[in-house]
Chains A and B, each alone.
Chain A
C-alpha cells in the first residue's frame, strides 16, 4: 500500500486504528506474560515450577501472535516509507499535503520511537513497557500542522510537533496512559526524551554524515539525555523549545 492510497481520511483512520489494534494485542499479551512471570518468580517452589511451564507456553503463543501481527501490518497496512534522508526530513514531509504528511510522519515517528525507547530503557535500566500509537502520531501532526502557516522556521515547527506528540500521548504506558504525564519519573523522562530525539532526527543536516541513520538517531538520543534538564524546562514554551531544537540541530 502506498502513501497516496492512504489519502482518503476514512481509510487512513481505519488503517492506522487497525495497526494500533493489532500492535495492542501483541502489547497486552506481552504485558500479561511479564506480569505472570513476576508472580511466578515470587511463588513457593512447587508453584514456581508450574509457573515456568505456563510462562513458556505463554511465550510460544506471544511469539506466534507477534509474528502474525507484524506480518499483517507490514504486508497489508504499511505504506512504503523509507527512513532515508531524502524522504524522512521535516522540510520534505511538511511540503506534502497534510493527509500524506501525517501518515508519513506517524510511520517514521513510530519506527524511530520504538528504537529510541528501547535504547533509553536500556540506558536508564527501566523495565516498564511502552506502547507507541501510530494513529495518535497522525493526530498530533494534524494538530501541529494547523499552526505551521504562522512560521517558516523549521525548529519552531519541530517544537510544535514535539508539544503535540506529548499532549496526545503517542508514547503510552503499559496501562495505556499518556507516558508523558505519568507519575513515574523515569516513564515520563523516557517519553519526553524519546519524542525529542525522534523530532530532532527529522531536522538535522545530513551532508557530512559519516554514520547510518540509526546511529544518528542514537546520537540524537545521547544529546537529549545530556540536556534532559533543559528539555524539561522548555516543554511548555514553544520559543524556548525551538531555540533548544536549533542549538541541538547544530550540535548533532
Chain B
C-alpha cells in the first residue's frame, strides 16, 4: 500500500440539491471545497498550509471564463470535456499559486508526492477529486486514479514539465486520472475519443462535430504539405549537411552513394546566455562561409539543398539561419535539431533494435530527446526536453532521465532508450547501472553510431523519409 492509498478521501461541504458540476461554477463552493481539500491534506501529512483566498478567486474567475469560452455545444462531448476542464483548473492553480506551505513534518518520506511538492499535491488531489465527483454524478462513470499519482518519478517529471509549460498540467491530470494524455497539444480540447463511445447524438450535432474534426484534420494536412514542400527541394542533387555542435561547426558533403566529397570543421566558442547574439552571429557566418566553399567545390553546379542541424537552443533562430543561407547561396535550406539528426542516424546506421520504437537521448548539455515511433522521428518541439545541465554527474543525470522515461513508459509503453554521445560524456557504466536499477523494465543501451563526417553525411540522405513533423503518431507506440 502506498502513502496515498492509506489516506482517507476528502469530504466536501454539503451541496443540498445542487449538482457538483453546477456548484463548482460558484466561487462560494469552489472556495469552501478547496479549503476542505487543503485541510484534509494538512491533517493527513502534518504539512501546514496558508491559502490566499483572493488569489484563489482569481484562479476561479480565470478558469470560469475559459470554461465558458470552450464549453462544447454538443452534449455528446461533455464527458470528455470534463477531463479538459479539470485540467484547465489545475493549470490555473499551478500558474497562480494560491497555496503556500508553511512547515513540513520533522520526519517524512521523500518518495511521497505530498512531501516532494506539497502545493502541487493539493492542486492535483483537488482537481482529481472534483473530476471524480462530477464523473460519478453526471456521467455515472467511475473514475479510478492511476498508480502514477503515487509514483514519485512521475511527479519529478510533472513538476519539471509544468514549470516549463503550464498546459502540460492538462495532460498530466489525464495521466493521473488513468486516461490517455495528450502531451503534444494538451491545451486543445479534443472530443473525438469520448464521442465515439457515447450514444449517437442528433444529426445536426453530429454534423457540427464532423465539421470541426474535418477542419482540424485539414489544418494538420496543410501543415504537413507545407513542410514537405519545403524539404522536397533538398532531395534533388547532392546532399549536404551543416552541423553545429556545442563547440564546433561541421560541414560535410556526400554524394548519393554516401561518399564524402567535402568536409570542414571550425571551432566556435559558444558564449554565455548574455552574449547569445554573438554566438548566433558567429554560427550563421560560419554556415554561410561553409556553404560558399561547398559551392566552389561543386563549381556552383548541382547543389540544390542543404540540411542544417543545430542544437535545440539555436532552433529559435531557424528562420534567420534559413533565410540568411538561402539569400547568400541560392539553395533551399532545411534547419533541424542535432538530436533529430542523431535519431535518424540511429535508425539508419544503428545497431539492430528489437523494434523501431525508442527514445533517443542526445547526451549534450542540455540533454535533448527525440521519440522514434515505427521508425519515424517525431520532429516536434514537444518531444524535446532541456534544462538538464549537469550531464557529467551520473547520479543526478540518472534521476532526471528516469523521471522522463518513466512518464513515457507509463503513457505510451516506451520500452527502449538509446543514449547517444555528444561532446560532453558522462561516466557511462555508472549511468547505465543507475538507470537500470531505477527502471528495470526499460531496455537502456548506448548508440554505436560513429560520430564521423561520413555518418552525418549519410544521415542527411535519409531525412526526408524518416522525419515527421507532428507528434500525432506518438500515441501509436502503446498499441
**B29 contact set on A, CB distance < 8 A:** 208, 210
Q: Is the CB of B61 within 8 A of A210?
A: no
A225 at the interface (CB under 8 A from B): yes
B56 at the interface (CB under 8 A from A): yes
B57 at the interface (CB under 8 A from A): yes
For B1-41 the 0/1 string (1 means CB < 8 A from A) is 00000000000011111100001011111011000000000
**B57 contact set on A, CB distance < 8 A:** 219, 222-223, 225-226
Partner of B27 from the list A123, A210, A219 (CB cut-off 8 Å) is A219
Q: Which residue of A lies closest to B33 (CB)?
A: A210
Cα A84 to Cα B16 with chains together (Å): 19
Cα A223 to Cα B64 with chains together (Å): 12
Separation in Å of the A120 CB from the closest CB of chain B? Answer: 10
Separation in Å of the A216 CB from the closest CB of chain B? Answer: 6
For B44-61 the 0/1 string (1 means CB < 8 A from A) is 000000000110111011
Partner of A252 from the list B16, B28, B58 (CB cut-off 8 Å) is B28
Cα A145 to Cα B29 with chains together (Å): 33
Separation in Å of the B18 CB from the closest CB of chain A? Answer: 4
Partner of A208 from the list B17, B27, B54 (CB cut-off 8 Å) is B17
For A111-131 the 0/1 string (1 means CB < 8 A from B) is 000000000000100000000
| Number of A positions contacting B (CB below 8 A) | 18
**A215 contact set on B, CB distance < 8 A:** 28
Cα A251 to Cα B60 with chains together (Å): 9
Cα A227 to Cα B31 with chains together (Å): 16
Taking CB atoms and an 8 Å cut-off, the chain B residues in 343-399 that contact chain A are none
Separation in Å of the B60 CB from the closest CB of chain A? Answer: 7
**A226 contact set on B, CB distance < 8 A:** 54, 57-58, 60-61
A207 at the interface (CB under 8 A from B): yes
Q: Given A208-B23, A210-B14, decide whether A251 and B61 contact each other with a Cβ distance below 8 A.
A: yes
| Number of B positions contacting A (CB below 8 A) | 22
Cα A222 to Cα B64 with chains together (Å): 15
Taking CB atoms and an 8 Å cut-off, the chain A residues in 190-213 that contact chain B are 207-211
Q: Given A222-B54, A223-B61, A227-B61, decide whether A208 and B31 contact each other with a Cβ distance below 8 A.
A: no
Separation in Å of the B67 CB from the closest CB of chain A? Answer: 11
Main secondary structure of the interface of A (DSSP, over half): helix
**B28 contact set on A, CB distance < 8 A:** 209-211, 215-216, 219, 252
A234 at the interface (CB under 8 A from B): no
Separation in Å of the A183 CB from the closest CB of chain B? Answer: 25
**B32 contact set on A, CB distance < 8 A:** 210-211
Q: Given A210-B13, A227-B61, decide whether A222 and B31 contact each other with a Cβ distance below 8 A.
A: yes
Cα A226 to Cα B28 with chains together (Å): 14
Cα A211 to Cα B35 with chains together (Å): 13
Q: Which residue of B lies closest to A120 (CB)?
A: B54
For A150-174 the 0/1 string (1 means CB < 8 A from B) is 0000000000000000000000000
Q: Which residue of A lies closest to B14 (CB)?
A: A210
Cα A189 to Cα B23 with chains together (Å): 30
A218 at the interface (CB under 8 A from B): yes
Partner of A251 from the list B27, B53, B58 (CB cut-off 8 Å) is B27
Q: Which residue of A lies closest to B18 (CB)?
A: A208
7 more contacts with CB within 8 A, not counting A211-B28, A226-B60, are A208-B16, A210-B32, A216-B28, A222-B31, A225-B58, A251-B26, A252-B27
27 A/B residue pairs, CB under 8 Å, sorted by A: A123-B54, A208-B15, A208-B23, A208-B26, A208-B29, A209-B28, A210-B28, A210-B29, A210-B32, A211-B32, A216-B28, A219-B28, A219-B31, A219-B57, A222-B56, A225-B54, A225-B57, A225-B58, A226-B54, A226-B58, A226-B60, A226-B61, A227-B61, A251-B26, A251-B64, A252-B26, A252-B27
